[in-house]
Amino acid sequence: MNEAPRLIALVPCAGSGARAGAQRPKQYQPLAGRMLVQHTLAALAAVGRISRVLVVVAPDDATLDAQPGVEAAHCGGATRAESVFNGLVHLRASGAADTEWVLVHDAARCLVTPALVDALIDACLESDEGGLLALPLPDTLKVVQGGRAVRTMARDGKWLAQTPQMFRLGHLHAALQAHAAGGFAGITDEASAMELAGCQPLLVRGGALNLKVTYPEDFAVAQALLLARQQ
Ligand code: CTP
Ligand code: MG
């Protein structure tokens, strides 16, 4: 009998957090008793089926070198897509097979729950297709020019992409490699590269609370939610 393909988590953690405006990269800000990224890593560790967690950090960043249960790869790039691509190159060089599944999950998305990750894994394994957590657009979408609304777009069929995003290692590596020479322009998530490669990733409903800490006010929201969960 064939063994089930392995599931690997790849966590891009090499950003500077410019929009968050904090003193240090947002993923290392203290939040509810530990660093923000440690909440993210704890949620992934609680998913029993994930066999390896690779955190992609900046080349000179030793913050997670001694973090139990994770492997820090010092190959972060200039963009999120480049960090993910470099992480995939690292996985392949260290013996991971192209048939293995990779779950790419933002370090900054510290409110993800094991249940959400499990739902994505179940859907992708059952359909044998790559996919992502996403949320139907809750608000009315405006097209803006010069600070004024010029048009309102139909909300139907529009979803907000979250992470994890789960694809076969070989497929995702090839899809991203096609954009390496162009500096990964326009590639803001894994699914966008897969779509351009002709795939139609599966959308699995995520949650409004699986937010990405991005702006200064997001820290307080994330902390309140994490503390509430610890009750
Ligand atoms: N990321 C990365 N390498 C980069 C840029 C981003 O690994 N060159 C990671 C971030 O650390 C984060 C995730 O990708 O966990 C999502 O990116 P984002 O929220 O945009 O984080 P930053 O790029 O750090 O923030 P900003 O865009 O505000 O500078
Ligand atoms: Mg960014």
Find out whether the beta carbon of 12 lies less than 6 Å from any atom of ligand 1: yes
pLDDT at residue 166, rounded to an integer:
98
Each residue's pLDDT tens digit in the chain (231 positions)?
566 779 999 999 999 999 999 999 999 999 999 999 999 999 999 999 999 999 999 999 999 999 999 999 999 999 999 999 999 999 999 999 999 999 999 999 999 999 999 999 999 999 999 999 999 999 999 999 999 999 999 999 999 999 999 999 999 999 999 999 999 999 999 999 999 999 999 999 999 999 999 999 999 999 999 999 988
Residue 80, pLDDT score = 98
Can you say how many angstroms the Cα of residue 143 is from the centroid of all Cα atoms in its chain?
Answer: 26
- In contact, 8 and 88? CB cutoff 8 Å: no
Q: How many independent structural domains does the chain possess?
A: 1
Distance (Å, rounded) from C-alpha 15 to C-alpha 23? Answer: 13
Is 64 within a domain?
yes
pLDDT value of residue 5? 79
Residue 212 covered by a domain: yes
Distance CA 125, CA 116 (A): 14
In a domain, 100, yes or no: yes
In a domain, 1, yes or no: no
Neighbouring CB atoms inside 10 A of 226's CB total: 17
**pTM of the model as a whole:** 0.97
188 pocket-lining for ligand 1 (C-beta < 6 Å):
no
Token pair belonging to 147: 């600070």
Residue 2 belongs to some domain of the structure: no
Residue nearest to atom 28 of ligand 1 (CA): 19
Whole-angstrom distance, CA of residue 105 vs CA of residue 116:
12
Q: Is residue 213 part of a domain?
A: yes
* Distance from C-alpha of 74 to C-alpha of 219, rounded to nearest angstrom: 26
- 150: in domain: yes
Residue 68 counted as domain residue: yes
For the Cβ of 52 lying below 6 angstroms from any atom of ligand 1, the answer is no
Q: Are 166 and 130 in contact (CB under 8 A)?
A: yes
Contact, 105 vs 45, CB < 8 A?
no
Q: Which ligand is nearest to the CA of 37?
A: 1
Q: Residue 54: give the domain boundaries.
A: 7-230
CATH of residue 159's domain is 3.90.550.10
